Structure 1
Amino acid sequence: MSARMLVLVNAVAGTGSGPDAIGEAFARCDLTPTIRPLNEGTIARLARGEGDAWDVVVAAGGDGTVASVAHALIGRRAALGVLPTGTLNHFARDLGLPLELPAAVAAVRSGVVRVIDVGEVNGRIFINNSSVGLYPSLLQERDRERRTRGRRKYPAMAVAMARAVRRFPNHRVRLAIGGKRFAPLVPFVFVANNGYSWKHADFARRPNLDGGRLYCYVPPRSGRRAIARLMAAWLFDRVRHPEELVALPVERLQLDAAARSLAVALDGEVFELTPPLKFRIRHRALRVIVPDAA
């Protein structure tokens, strides 16, 4: 692919691939893109219109990094390229992208543009999923452990999970879906950009990203043991059984709660949003580069 290309690098993402290593990988593919560090200024310039000055904007980082760049490119001419240098890289896996840096750069160079869906809640974009309740509280607890105790990411998450099981928080939420209203008492509500399949050997993946539906997942059982088992499966990317979650396919839904603000996880990053939370699918809103055979 011959194109005007901007690469935005989150050098603190999981693999720590910095601008020099990424520049060398592009040079081996005979490409000389403009490479910049990812920060609020670069994202703001893309959203204000710089996204129309490039053919391709490549996000080098994890899912949170990719989501922030994707948000800025909605409605812009530039296609999104992905170098999955984060820890889990769910979005890249679902797109069928290679996870090794040289192969990922080659995929950006020779790939094709595919148009996919994104989710939106109260004006914020998510490319994978959004959740309320247990998961954002785990992320906040994990980050406190890392900040105050200096723990690494996964040990900090294990500590956060153990504390969550002891506290076992349930939340009364009000859901409005397709003209029907529910008020379940649940530990979490999980909303995905298109639905997950449990047919893979070890993990849940989304078989397509252009189906035009959100999937709202809630647990049918809210007992401590069932939720602890589900949390462990989620932590280690081993959710295998669809009966562990009830799935509701929708184009829009609204979630409300008796709170002035709600901690909401969007692609692994936590934001404080004011309820009601208004979710919608934005069908075929994002242009993204994928391998030619994907």
Structure 2
Amino acid sequence: MQDTNPDPAAPLYIVLNAGSGSSETALRRATIEGILAQAGRSFELAMVDAPGQLEQVAKRMVAQARAAGGIVVAAGGDGTINTVARETVASGCPFGVLPQGTFNYFGRTHNIPEDLGDAVRALLTARVQPVQIGIVNQRIFLVNASIGLYPTLLEEREADKHQFGRSRLVALLSALKTFFSPHRRMRIKMVLDGMERSLRTSTLFVGNNRLQMEQLGMAPMVEAIKDGELAAIAIKSVGKLGMFGLLARALVGRLGDAGNLLTFSFRQMTVRPRKFYGKRKVKVATDGEVTLMDMPLEFRVLEGQLLLLKPGAGTARVAAGDDRAA
């Protein structure tokens, strides 16, 4: 996919997620506004103070950007980036990212700095490159999508973050708690390339992020994503000891060595309950956001649908961190 230069005078329409009223919000806004003002770049910045406002604000800013030939920018974590990107994809507008989350997998994969000031400066000299996204039942995902235990883990993690604060340590401890709590196993059927397979699993995880696969130690899945596919990981039926072993391998980047996983890559896949009685809803996590979707689930890859502003070579370095349990 070929890079192009965006219009250097194109106005920026920035959606900044203020989170839960963090004291850092004012500093983040001042940093963004100060750098852009100094560069003489035209921009509009919209603050989102409540999660329920994010989609509405994103729609408004995308509409303005489309009318003005501008660039849409999401400032926040992977969930915020997903919501703004979802509104941007159909508009044809270029899309920029200022990563401000806990793990920032999407931004780091594309060499976007985690430091806000550096990210804003990189945005001003970035080139547009179409990037691959995944989709499940018409909802996009940039990093991953999953059903089963993982959506439960995300809901518990969000509750724990509200109580104990946002950090990678809190996220890890919350994951440990969820993994060792009682949970149901799903009985599902998967259809790939016309072939049907039955599976009993606690989690079906579909990845679209090379960095996350690398940190889990899933080298073949990294190559699959590079080749334009999605990477699937399903946990076979295991007890608590087996779950502990899987988590330990994930933390040290050796999940690929585990024998109680089913892994494969695909471009399109249908997932449905083994026994199907009319409509059935299931919780699906997409980039950290949990929603209810009707079965069956249709997963597929979309190439070049998101026109991402990426820093040039050498502008940023992908940060290495012990965050494999995200």
- Tell me which residue corresponds to 1:35: 45
Q: 2:126·2:310 contact (CA, 8 Å) conserved in 1?
A: yes
> Aligned partners of 2:41, 2:116: CA distance in 1, in Å?
14
Q: TM-score, normalised by structure 2?
A: 0.78
Matched, 1:218 2:238: no
> Could you tell me which amino acid in structure 2 is paired with residue 158 of structure 1?
L
CA separation of 1:203 and 1:90: change in aligned 2, threshold 3 A = farther
Stretches of structure 2 that go unaligned for 5 or more consecutive residues are 1-7, 49-53, 315-326
Percent of pairs identical after alignment? 28
Matched, 1:161 2:181: no
Q: 1:194·1:212 contact (CA, 8 Å) conserved in 2?
A: no
CA separation of 1:199 and 1:120: change in aligned 2, threshold 3 A = closer
> Aligned partners of 1:290, 1:250: CA distance in 2, in Å?
26
Equivalenced residues, count: 289
> Could you tell me which amino acid in structure 1 is paired with residue 123 of structure 2?
V
Structure 1 stretches of 4+ moved >6 Å? 201-205, 207-210
Q: 1:2·1:109 contact (CA, 8 Å) conserved in 2?
A: no
Matched, 1:241 2:255: yes
Aligned with 2:306 (options 264, 268, 286): 286
Q: 1:10·1:18 contact (CA, 8 Å) conserved in 2?
A: no
The Cα of 1:33 is off from its aligned counterpart by 1.3
The Cα of 1:200 is off from its aligned counterpart by 5.8
Q: 1:117·1:210 contact (CA, 8 Å) conserved in 2?
A: no
The Cα of 1:198 is off from its aligned counterpart by 5.6
- Tell me which residue corresponds to 1:74: 89
> Aligned partners of 1:198, 1:130: CA distance in 2, in Å?
13
CA separation of 1:246 and 1:201: change in aligned 2, threshold 3 A = closer
Aligned with 1:176 (options 178, 183, 191): 191
> Could you tell me which amino acid in structure 1 is paired with residue 31 of structure 2?
A
> Aligned partners of 1:280, 1:85: CA distance in 2, in Å?
28
> Aligned partners of 2:104, 2:222: CA distance in 1, in Å?
13
The Cα of 1:184 is off from its aligned counterpart by 1.1
> Could you tell me which amino acid in structure 1 is paired with residue 305 of structure 2?
A
Q: 1:94·1:206 contact (CA, 8 Å) conserved in 2?
A: no
Q: TM-score, normalised by structure 1?
A: 0.85
What do residues 147-204 of structure 1 show as CA deviations (whole Å, max 9, x unaligned)?
Answer: 6xx3334547624632441314322121111111122111100112265676569998
Q: 2:142·2:209 contact (CA, 8 Å) conserved in 1?
A: no
The Cα of 1:28 is off from its aligned counterpart by 3.9
> Could you tell me which amino acid in structure 1 is paired with residue 284 of structure 2?
V
Range with bigger deviation, 105-114 or 164-173: 164-173
The Cα of 1:75 is off from its aligned counterpart by 2.8
Stretches of structure 1 that go unaligned for 5 or more consecutive residues are none
- Tell me which residue corresponds to 1:189: 204
The Cα of 1:70 is off from its aligned counterpart by 0.8
Matched, 1:86 2:101: yes
> Could you tell me which amino acid in structure 1 is paired with residue 244 of structure 2?
A
Aligned with 1:19 (options 9, 19, 29): 29
> Could you tell me which amino acid in structure 2 is paired with residue 242 of structure 1?
G
SS in structure 2 of the partner of residue 279 of structure 1: strand
Q: How well do the aligned residues superpose, as a CA RMSD in angstroms? A: 3.0
